[in-house]
Amino acid sequence: MHRPVHIALISMFLHLVAHPWAAAEEARPPNVVFIAVDDLNDWLGCMETHPMVKTPHIDALAARGTLFTNAHSNAVLCNPSRVSLMIGMRPSSTGIYGLRPWLRDVPEFAGLATLPQHFANHGYRTLTAGKVHHEWRRPGPDETHVEFEVAGPAGGLTSRPPEKLIGETPFGNHPLMDWGVWPPDNDDTKTGDYQVAAWAVDQITSSPEDDDRPYFLAAGFFFPHVPCYATQKWFDLYPDDESILPEIPDDDRAGSPRSSWWMHWALPEPRLRWLRENDQHVNLVRSYLACISFIDSLVGKIVAAVDESGGADNTIIVLWSDHGYHLGEKEITGKNSLWARSTRVPLIFAGPGITPGQDCGRPAELLDVYPTLTKLARLPGPAHTLEGLSLVPWLRDADTPRDQPAISTHNQGNHAVISEEWRYIRYVDGSEELYDIRNDPHEWNNVASEKPGLLHEMRGHLPAVDRGPAPGSAHRILTYYDGVPVWEGMPIGEDDPVPHDTP
C-alpha cells in the first residue's frame, strides 16, 4: 500500500532536515569557489587566536559552513605546500621541498592531473586568477599541461614605494622584506588582490550563456605575504602600540634543539632581535593584521557574488592558506618551522553537503582538500593515488573520530605529527620535541623527555616514504648526509653561531 502523498512529503522533509546533504546528492554537480590566501596564519576571529584581529567576512563564511580548527599545511613553504595540495601527495613522497622545482619540471609528475585538471576532465569549466599554483599558470614542458581553462589577472604586487618603507634589512636586504602603508592614496583598487577579487566576482555573476557546465573557480590572494602593504584605512583598525604583539617569552626556544635552526638557517626574513632593535615589531604585526583585514574584505566580495548569482545553494566554497607565519614567535619571522605558528592554517568548507556552524577540532591536512572536493562533487578519484583523507564525514558531523594525525614536513627528515592533544616534532638529526597543545598551545614546554611511551607512538606516524630532494631542487633546501647539515649548498659547522643579523 502506498502512503498518502502528503505523508511521503513530510517524511522527505524530515529526512532532509536531519540530513541536509541528502538533497545535494541528487542535484546538478556543484560549482566550486576555491580561495587561496598566501602566508595567512591562524589569526582569524573565528579561530580565536589574536584578540584584536578583525575578519568579519571570513568569520561569516565559517559560520555558514565547517571550520577545521586543527588543520595544518603539509609543507611550510609556498611551492611544496601548493604542489602537495594540488596533487594530493606528501612532500616526503615527491621530494619537492623548496621553491624549485615547479611540479611540471619533474618528469615523473609532469602528467599528473592536478585538482582543477581533474575537475576539467569531468566536465567542469576551470578558471583562475592570482596565486594558486606557486608558478601561477605556467604550462608544462610540452606546453600541453595548461592548469586552467580560463586565466584572469595575475594579481600580486602592482606597485611599490620608491624606496623600502622600513629601510635596509639583514640577510641581503631582500626587496620583499618591507611593510607599511602603501599605496598612500587609500585606493585599494590599484592592488593586484583587489583586481583578482573583482575578476572573480565578474566571472561568478556573469557566466557565459552558451556554457552550462559547472565551474571550478580559483582565486589566489597574495597578501598578507610580505611586503605587507595595505592602505591607511586597514591600519586604522589596529592600535599602533605593543598591545597588538603576540606573547613571546624570553626563553621561547629554550627547549628546542640546535637542529631546529637548520631549517631556517639564513633567510631574508628578519629575526625577532632585529625587529626589536630597529623598532619594527609593532609595525610588522600591525601591517600583517591590516593585510589580513583587507583580504577579509575581498573574501566578502566573492562570497557576496556567489549569493547574488543565485547559485549559493549549489556552490561549494573552500578557503585555505598555504601555511602559517611567525611574527616573532620562536625568535623568527616568516615560515619554515614545524611549530603551530607555521603549520596551522585556516581551512573552511561551506555549501551543499556541509553542516553549517561547525567547528571541527579533529586533525586535518591540506592534503585532504583534493579527495574532499572530489567526493563532494561526486567525481571518481584521479588515476594517481591520493594520500589524504576525504573530510566529508567531518563536514557532516564534526565529532566523527579520526585516528590519523596531520603531518607537516620541511625538507627530508623533518616532520611534525599533530593529533588533537599533541605535537611531535622529529628533526633530521633525530632530535625530538613534544608539546601538550591543549594545555600549552604556545608550545613553550618541550616534554619529550617525560613521555617515552607517547614518543614511540607518535614516531609510528612518521611518513614511511621520506625522499631526498627532487632533481632541480633549490631555494631553502636543507640536506643532512653523513652527519653534516648543508643549508643552500653550504655546510653548517658544529660551532657555527646561529645567524641573527647577517648571513
Q: What is the pLDDT of residues 194-212, one digit of tens each?
A: 999 999 999 999 978 788 9
The whole-number pLDDT of residue 208 equals: 82
Q: Distances from the Cα of 91 to the Cαs of 21, 258, 411, 467, 487, in angstroms?
A: 33, 23, 8, 8, 18
Cβ-Cβ contacts under 8 Å for 28 (sequence gap 6 or more): 214, 314
With contact defined as beta carbons under 8 Å apart, do 192 and 242 qualify? Answer: no
Q: How far is CA 313 from the centre of its chain?
A: 26
Whole-number percent of the chain with pLDDT over 90: 89
- Alpha helix segments (H runs only) across 408-474: 452-459
Residues 173-190: what's their mean pLDDT?
Answer: 96
**Backbone angles phi and psi of 4, in degrees to 5:** -55, 150
Length of the chain: 503
383-390 CB contacts, 8 Å cutoff, 24+ apart: 383/113, 384/87, 384/88, 384/89, 384/112, 384/113, 385/89, 386/88, 386/89, 387/88, 387/89, 387/90, 387/93, 388/88, 389/365
Coil/strand/helix, residue 89: coil
Residue 497 has pLDDT above 70, yes or no: yes
pLDDT (tens digit per residue) in 388-410: 999 999 999 999 999 999 999 99
pLDDT band at residue 500, thresholds of 50, 70 and 90?
A: confident
User: pLDDT tens across 92-121, in order?
Assistant: 999 999 999 999 999 999 899 999 999 999
pLDDT of residue 209: 79
CB 198 within 8 A of CB 155: no
Q: Which three cell numbers stand for residue 233?
A: 584605512
CA nearest 354: which of 380, 373, 381? 373
Q: 133-138: long-range contacts at Cβ-Cβ below 8 A with a sequence spacing of 24 or more?
A: 133/82, 133/83, 133/86, 133/103, 134/78, 134/79, 134/82, 134/83, 134/99, 134/102, 135/79, 135/102, 135/103, 135/104, 138/102, 138/104
Q: SS3 for 258-299, per residue? A: CHHHHCCCCCCCCEHHHHHHCCCHHHHHHHHHHHHHHHHHHH
Question: Known catalytic residues?
Answer: 78, 134
Compute the half-sphere exposure of residue 440: CA atoms within 13 Å on the CB side of its CA. Answer: 12
Sign, CA dihedral 262-265-269-275, equals positive
Answer whether residue 9 shows pLDDT above 70. no
pLDDT at 195: 97
- List alpha helices for 345-465, DSSP H: 369-376, 392-396, 452-459
Per-residue pLDDT reduced to its tens digit, 337-393: 999 999 999 999 999 999 999 999 999 999 999 999 999 999 999 999 999 999 999
Q: What's the rounded Cα separation, in Å, for the pair 52 and 243?
A: 9
Distance, in Å, from the CA atom of 407 to the CA atom of 420, rounded to the nearest integer, reads: 12
Kindly report the average pLDDT of the chain as a whole number: 93
pLDDT, residue 174, reads 96
331's grid cell = 625568535
Letter for the amino acid at 95?
Answer: G
Instruction: Give me the pLDDT at residue 253, please.
Output: 95
Task: Delimit the domains of the chain by residue range.
Answer: 5-249+264-404
Provide the Cα torsion 439, 445, 449, 454; round to 10°.
Answer: 30
Least confident among 6-10, 370-374, 384-388, 449-453: 6-10
Model confidence at 153, pLDDT cuts 50, 70, 90, reads very high
Helices (H) and strands (E) in the chain, counts: 14, 21
User: Could you give the dihedral angle defined by the CA atoms of residues 325, 316, 393 and 442, in that order, rounded to the nearest 10 degrees?
Assistant: 20
User: What integer is the mean pLDDT of 148-158?
Assistant: 93
User: If you average pLDDT over residues 151-175, what whole number do you get?
Assistant: 95
Average pLDDT for 127-155: 76
Query: In the prediction, which pLDDT does 26 show?
Result: 56
Per-residue pLDDT, 28: 86
Residue 63: all three cell numbers together? 559560520
pLDDT tier at 136 (50, 70, 90 boundaries)? low
Which stretch of 255-269, 296-310, 489-503 has the lowest confidence by average pLDDT?
Answer: 489-503
What is the distance between the alpha carbons of residues 49 and 56, in angstroms, rounded to a whole number? 15
In this predicted structure, the answer to whether residue 146 has a pLDDT above a threshold of 80 is no
**Do the bridges between strand 484-487 and strand 326-327 make them parallel or antiparallel, or are there none, so unpaired?**
unpaired
Angle at 38 between CA 443 and CA 160, to 5 degrees: 120
Report the candidate in 21, 7, 11 with the shortest Cα–Cα distance to residue 355: 21
Q: Which fold has domain 5-249+264-404?
A: Alkaline Phosphatase, subunit A (3.40.720)
User: How far is CA 283 from each of CA 180, 260, 327, rounded to the nearest angstrom?
Assistant: 7, 27, 11
Q: What is the per-residue pLDDT for 11?
A: 39
Q: Is 61 helix (H, G, I), strand (E, B) or coil?
A: helix
